[in-house]
Structure 1
Amino acid sequence: MSILRVENLTKTYSSGSGPLTVLHNVSFEIQAGDTFSIVGPSGSGKTTLLGLCAGLDRATSGSVYLNGIRLDNLSEDERAAVRNQHVGFIFQNFQLLPTLTALENVMVPMELQGARNVEKTALDLLDRVGLAKRSHHYPTQLSGGEQQRVSLARAFANRPKILFADEPTGNLDTDTGDTVEALLFDLNREAGTTLVLVTHDLELAQRTGRILKMRGGAVVDQLVNERMSD
């Protein structure tokens, strides 16, 4: 079953020197449970594409279908409701709420869904990422790697059908990045979540089943990782 379908996606911004097109007729499809990476140099449109796929922004033309829901016809509030129901996020700069503890940050997506037993579930997730003893610390009291592990726990808190990760190890040193990377793939495999990863790191991309290569806002290649498909 297709979890994400992108059809002829184009994004153009207005600028002082005229219209600037950052995505050109991008199309692809991802099946439920797939792992998928989007790679390319800076300015190739990777993060813009990720934002459109997740319903954070609206394309100039083309369509995005997320879990069968067409996003381009929805209002901002409707897209936010779809994200809350179906999507998890991991960002390069963590984006934890600074006034909330690690535990409270992980609880937020579940509380927005009206879930029960949110504190126990959040503690279990923090334990899974090795931070049970840091649950009452605030983001400023945590290292970068610890903050990203909290964001990992938060991303899986609402049991998303699809997880979007934008350079999840980009702000971390190699050893810490390796730890976060291993946790990401382990949690994703256990949950059976579809993973869409934006990265500069080709070694990280090689851990996914498919790779979409971009340059200048256009798709230049789509590769199936033979090692993953065996």
Structure 2
Amino acid sequence: MTPILHIQDLTKTYQSTGQTLTVLDHINFSITEGSTVAIVGPSGSGKTTLLGLCAGLDSSTSGLVELNGIRLDTLNEDARAQVRNQYVGFIFQNFQLLPTLTALENVMVPLELRGEKHIKPRALELLDKVGLSDRSHHYPAQLSGGEQQRVSLARAFSNRPKILFADEPTGNLDTETSEKVVKLIFDLNREAGTTLVLVTHDVDLAAKTQRILKVKGGKLISDEPTGVA
């Protein structure tokens, strides 16, 4: 089975005060389509950097990143943005909604970027799925943190992504709200058959995925299945 994401010898270094800082050091793994994977590790271990490279938000120093059969490491920023818009959904810890747009307009943004027509019904359907059909005309500032994250979840699924990257999706939410958002992420993911890759500090959340990649000091130190079907 062809992997949806293939990482080979992935390395990321930065120059800092005349020294080379290695954030990721020769990382290797592949992820099969439709699977759920958590990337865990202490703060500063390189997991968010790894997620950004996998998603084409940043470019590596060396190594190969292949997403849906496309080599991201050989592309410039514009070409990577095109791939992201075509195949990738994102959920961030701080929601990253556009403050001047309503919930509905935020969900429609990825579809508009793709030049799709008749997008309002699709956006409304997704808001309904996350339980926010009655809040569609509210702006982010008028919504609670949990509601904002649900809008970002609807937005993430709007372009029918092949792979969804979630960076600490419950990091800014209380326990009860986190549980609701996590259930929505997994339910929508299962329904859409999307591949899910999430970065989290939350061991309970990581345990809900099928596989856990542990990163420490920029190295992949373990890659274990969880036993979740």
Q: TM-score, normalised by structure 2?
A: 0.98
**Residue of structure 2 equivalent to 1:13:** 14
**Residue of structure 2 equivalent to 1:129:** 130
Find the aligned partners of 2:11 and 2:74 in 1 and give their Cα distance: 15
Letter in 1 for 2:49: T
Query: Shift in Å at residue 116 of structure 1?
Result: 2.4
Aligned length: 228
Give the alignment of 1:46-57 within 5 angstroms: 46-57=47-58
**Residue of structure 1 equivalent to 2:41:** 40
Alignment identity in percent? 69
Q: Which is worse superposed, 43-52 or 16-25?
A: 16-25
Say if 2:109 is the partner of 1:108.
Answer: yes
Letter in 2 for 1:137: H
Query: Shift in Å at residue 17 of structure 1?
Result: 4.7
Query: Shift in Å at residue 115 of structure 1?
Result: 1.6
**Residue of structure 1 equivalent to 2:155:** 154
Q: Which is worse superposed, 30-39 or 16-25?
A: 16-25
Gap regions ≥5 residues in structure 1: none
Find the aligned partners of 1:117 and 1:178 in 2 and give their Cα distance: 33
Find the aligned partners of 1:164 and 1:203 in 2 and give their Cα distance: 18
Find the aligned partners of 1:172 and 1:51 in 2 and give their Cα distance: 22
Find the aligned partners of 2:20 and 2:223 in 1 and give their Cα distance: 28
**Residue of structure 1 equivalent to 2:93:** 92
**Residue of structure 2 equivalent to 1:65:** 66
Find the aligned partners of 2:28 and 2:78 in 1 and give their Cα distance: 25
Find the aligned partners of 1:41 and 1:30 in 2 and give their Cα distance: 22
Q: TM-score, normalised by structure 1?
A: 0.98
Cα deviation code 1:71-130 (max 9, x no counterpart): 011010000000000000000000000000000000000111122221010000000000
Gap regions ≥5 residues in structure 2: none
**Residue of structure 2 equivalent to 1:170:** 171
Find the aligned partners of 1:106 and 1:17 in 2 and give their Cα distance: 44
The CA RMSD over aligned residues, in Å, is 0.7
